[in-house]
Structure 1
């Protein structure tokens, strides 16, 4: 495994963890079903899921 692949994997892992953290701390009003669906989307789509969450799913402040 190359260094670039390792760095990319770490970035992906950290961004997924950040979305899950964000779901349970900042989006408390969101239903549990929606939270679970967003977690599934992020896990299946990876970085695209993270981008979609921040563009569509995240509650505006």
Structure 2
């Protein structure tokens, strides 16, 4: 792969930039989108997860995916 002319970056540097920058950004945006579209068992949890994901993006997103998703109301309980 050719170096980027204006940045003089090779393949390895581009790969590292993607891992360090783009993937955490996409993960954070996904989590924020999922939080805002979801209904939680406790309404305050939605605000709490938004704050955590915004102020601690990578760790907050990972914690939300592990812990926070189980705090959402199930689809069947939302309909009833």
Q: State the structure with bigger RCO (CA 8 A, min sep 6), 1 or 2.
A: 1
Q: CA deviation at 1:40?
A: 1.5
The two structures have a TM-score, normalised by structure 1, of 0.69
Q: Which has the larger radius of gyration?
A: 2
Point out the structure with the larger helix share. 1
* Moved beyond 4 Å, runs of 4+: none
CA RMSD of aligned residues (A): 2.3
Give structure 1 stretches of 5+ with no counterpart: none
Q: What per-residue deviation string (whole Å, max 9, x for no partner) do you get for residues 1-49 of structure 1?
A: 84213x1211111111101111122x22451x32222111112222211
Contact (CA 8 Å) 2:28, 2:53: kept in 1 or not?
Answer: yes
The two structures have a TM-score, normalised by structure 2, of 0.56
Equivalent residue pairs, number: 58
Give structure 2 stretches of 5+ with no counterpart: 1-6, 8-12, 75-80
Query: Residue in 1 aligned with 2:49?
Result: 38
